């Protein structure tokens, strides 16, 4: 991860977190846990 990739993923996934009702669950699923990390990168590449 570079800094731009990390913060880009953080900002984009936090936008999904702003969706009412399902946003938190969607963001947690995209992150693959409770923070941006390697599972997040794997999920972005698989999409």
Per-residue pLDDT of the chain (47 residues; tens, 9 = 90+): 688 888 888 898 889 889 999 999 988 888 888 888 888 888 877 87
- How many CA atoms, within 13 angstroms, populate the side-chain half-sphere of residue 25? 3
pLDDT at 44: 79
The answer to pTM > 0.85 is no
pLDDT at 46: 80
pLDDT at 39: 85
Q: Any idea where the domains of the chain sit in the sequence?
A: 3-46
pLDDT at 1: 67
pLDDT at 9: 85
- How many CA atoms, within 13 angstroms, populate the side-chain half-sphere of residue 37? 7
Contact 47, 16 (CB under 8 A): no
33, two tokens: 């846990």
């Amino acid at each position: 991860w570079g800094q731009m990739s990390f913060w880009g993923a953080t900002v984009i996934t936090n936008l999904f977190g702003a969706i009412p009702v399902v946003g938190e669950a969607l963001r947690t699923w995209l992150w693959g846990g409770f923070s941006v990390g390697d599972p997040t990168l794997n999920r972005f590449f698989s999409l």
